[in-house]
Amino acid sequence: MNPIPDPSGTDLHSGGAAMAYHRLFDARHHGMLVAGADGRILSASAPLEALFGYGRGALSGRRTASLLPRRLRRAHLELDAAPSGPSADRAWGADDGLLGLRRDGSEFPIGVATVHLQTGSTALVCAIVHDRTAQHAALDSLFGESERTRVTLSSIGDGVLSTDIDGRVTFLNPVSERLTGYSCAQARGRPFTEVFSIIDATTRAARADPVASSMRQDRMLCLPPGTLLVRQDGSEIAIEDSTAPIHNRRGQVDGAVVVFRDVTAARAQVAALAHSASHDTLTGLPNRTLLNDRLDHAIDIAARRHGRLAVLFLDLDAFKHINDSLGHTAGDELLQSVALRLRACVRLSDTVSRQGGDEFVVLLPEISSAQGAGRIADKIVKALAAPHIVRGQPLTVNVSVGISLYPDDGTSTEKLLQYADLAMYQAKQMGRNTYCFFERELNSRAVARQSVESELRQALDREELVLHYQPKFDLASGQVNGVEALIRWLHPTRGLLGPEEFLSVAEDCGLIVPIGRWVLVQACRQARAWLDDGLPFGHVAVNVCALEFRRKDFLQSIATTLSETGLAARHLELELTEGVLMSDTNASVATLQTLSAMGVSIAVDDFGTGYSSLSYLRRFPIDVLKIDKTFVQDLGSGDGDSAIVQAIIALGTSLNYRVIAEGVETPQQLALLNAQHCGEGQGFLFSRPLTADVLAALLRTSPPAA
């Protein structure tokens, strides 16, 4: 506010002039005042007086500087030195920092516009004052919003980039600087496509400019999947984005804003999850799900082109023995080695899949003939037979392969896999380490096998299983030394079935364990009944399969059965094959020692047909060696079996074992066995397996040895 010159006697408070000024002042919305040369207020409008908190006429005679805080008065006076003549208006904005001082001492922002009037020798200043509190609040709010926007754009995890209407960059937030490699200063003014270069991840072709498209279509757009951002240094990252147009106050497109993020890690994680869902974790091969999809697709193509394809089902021979003896870690390494060799045996267009465990499937989508599939199968058999280095040691494993063909054997994924599986089992029955093509007869046998399994499950509940007993004789005296329990199935329609017609099915479907438990209990119960009838028969022998012998509760089941049936352990003999004992020798030794301590006898069944080590044989607490019937049947044929039988008898005698010859059917065989001093024998020459009642009658007429 300019200092007011001396009014030279002009009295604005007198007469009509005063009334005219008051009417003029009071009619204005803003506060107004007139001051003289001495800086005293000559007149003030009612709105001005109210603005500063004064009553009507209270400001007259006060100095204008009294309306300002004390700290601002000197600067105000220096700034507003009066001009020598009439002056244009001078406006005071909020940015000038001018404050008013109310009567109560409070301060508030004001704006002032002044007009210097010169009438003759009289100099006056007319000032218009308005309250800028609301304007300051609005400016503070605007600044706050701007600051919040700046902080938000700097702290969010997405990149933000804006352009003008010409597609030139106007802004990059810190994240977009990091992702593009350009600083905001470097990018500002550059074409958007130069800073934000994007390409298709598959074709490597440049993507269309999303900013130009968004402004042209006046709508938000998103980049298609598989977009890569080429950064300033040439490196690439996968991104997702949305681009939207910016509108001015008139609603016209004035630029665009791009919000984008780096999804490289996320896409890698999604790809990894997708891979793990369709691939085997251990070997990295396609799993069952992916194989089925590829086989479905291959069948569709073959059907359209009238082509052929082959499915090879592979199973490693004796893999369980490797797992049990060397541990699962070694087993896993072997499976990984097998997977590598299988991949090397086939073309890139073929699929090698792991189905689980030690089963693999190979899909040959383009095969010209069955002979071609056979050549691949033969190549696989030979490749896998070479020693694998597992944990630094060579390990040999064989494989059985079954082959099914499209469209010869089947036209669906399910049938081709099923038939290849059946052919694989046929390969195992043919001696393993070979391959076999599917034949219709295999399916017929499989259907019959399924029927046997279903009926066998019911046989246990219906009590259709029975035991027959075959006596064992002392060859020198002809006395009965013991009996062997042999299971039979009294089928409701097929009659009495031997074990060869259903036990292999029981092993495959897991029924062999409950059936084995049933045989043990029934045999011990019958033996106790014979003893109670005064028939001291010696012992009852029960066959034990591998699944039973390896169960953790096997020893407990033996002890429980003996206790519940009341049979003394010395009357029970367990028969195990060499294969069962040698599958895990350390565990076998521990189990046999416990059985021996209980008083149970141990017999090695089918001796001579397995692969037992004599050093381990000596460690086993064995009581009996049973010569396999195949050696006994060929006695006297001159093909060397007599020498084998003699060697087994000599071995058993030297180790103080009882030796029993199985399958004795002719007097000539008996004579040769006696000549070689074999202790015991069983077979049709002496007696067929008998029911419990018939055997009891035999025992009464031929008492067993003490």
Buried/exposed 169-202: b ≥16 CB within 10 Å, e otherwise: bbbbbebbbebbbbeeeebeeeebbebbbbbeee
pLDDT tens by residue, 123-135 = 788 888 888 777 6
Specify the range with the lowest mean pLDDT, choosing from 70-79, 100-109, 497-506.
70-79
Provide the H-helix boundaries in 603-640: 614-619, 629-633
The secondary element (H helix, E strand) that includes residue 278 is helix 264-278
| 333-350 average pLDDT score | 94
Q: Would you give the DSSP letter of residue 449?
A: H
Note the pLDDT of residue 135.
Answer: 64
**Reported confidence tier of residue 17, pLDDT bands at 50, 70, 90:** very low
Of the candidates 70, 143, 67, the one whose C-alpha atom is nearest the C-alpha of residue 110 is 67
Q: Using CB atoms within 10 A of its CB, is residue 156 exposed (0-12), middle (13-18) or buried (19+)? A: middle
**Looking at the chain, which residues constitute the CATH 3.20.20.450 domain(s)?**
455-698
* Distance, CA of 426 to CA of 432 (rounded, Å): 9
Q: How are strands ordered across the β-sheet holding 351-356?
A: 351-356, 359-364, 309-317, 398-406, 435-437
Note the pLDDT of residue 639.
Answer: 63
CA 81 to chain centre: 84
Beta strand 480-491 pairing with 540-543? parallel
**Preceding omega of 174 cis (within 30 degrees of 0):** no
pLDDT tens by residue, 250-293 = 889 999 999 998 988 888 887 788 888 889 999 999 999 999 99
Note the pLDDT of residue 568.
Answer: 96
The answer, yes or no, to whether residue 84 has pLDDT greater than 80, is no
Q: Would you say 94 and 110 are in contact if contact means Cβ atoms under 8 Å apart? A: no
Of the candidates 34, 35, 44, 42, the one whose C-alpha atom is nearest the C-alpha of residue 5 is 35
Reported as half-sphere exposure (CB side, CA atoms, 13 A), residue 76 has a value of: 22
For 566-597, the DSSP string reads: T--GGGEEEEEEHHHHHTTHHHHHHHHHHHHH
User: What's the fold here for domain 15-137?
Assistant: Beta-Lactamase (3.30.450)
Select the CATH number that applies to the domain covering 455-698 from these four: 3.40.50.300, 3.30.1200.10, 3.40.50.2300, 3.20.20.450.
Answer: 3.20.20.450
Q: Using CB atoms within 10 A of its CB, is residue 304 exposed (0-12), middle (13-18) or buried (19+)? A: exposed
pLDDT tens by residue, 170-220 = 999 999 999 999 999 999 999 999 999 999 998 999 999 999 999 999 999
**Looking at the chain, which residues constitute the CATH 3.30.450.20 domain(s)?**
15-137, 156-268
> Who's near 321: CB < 8 A, 6+ residues apart?
583
CATH code linked to domain 156-268: 3.30.450.20
pLDDT tens by residue, 604-619 = 988 877 666 677 777 8
Structure tokens at 698: 């035999």
Structure tokens at 659: 């030796």
Q: Would you say 441 and 659 are in contact if contact means Cβ atoms under 8 Å apart? A: no
**Reported confidence tier of residue 443, pLDDT bands at 50, 70, 90:** low
CATH code linked to domain 279-438: 3.30.70.270
Distances (CA, A) of 459 to 462, 467, 486, 545, 548: 5, 14, 16, 20, 20
* Distance, CA of 169 to CA of 194 (rounded, Å): 10
Collapsing DSSP states into helix, strand and coil, what is residue 37? Answer: coil
Q: What is the pTM of this model?
A: 0.49
Collapsing DSSP states into helix, strand and coil, what is residue 72? Answer: helix
Residue with tokens 């593009």: 180
The answer, yes or no, to whether residue 385 has pLDDT greater than 70, is yes
Of the candidates 389, 382, 385, 383, the one whose C-alpha atom is nearest the C-alpha of residue 397 is 385
| 631-650 average pLDDT score | 80
pLDDT tens by residue, 517-540 = 999 999 999 999 999 999 988 999
Note the pLDDT of residue 76.
Answer: 60
* Distance, CA of 42 to CA of 63 (rounded, Å): 9
In Å, the largest CA–CA distance within the chain is 167
pLDDT tens by residue, 210-245 = 999 999 999 999 889 889 999 999 999 999 888 999
Structure tokens at 524: 């011990």
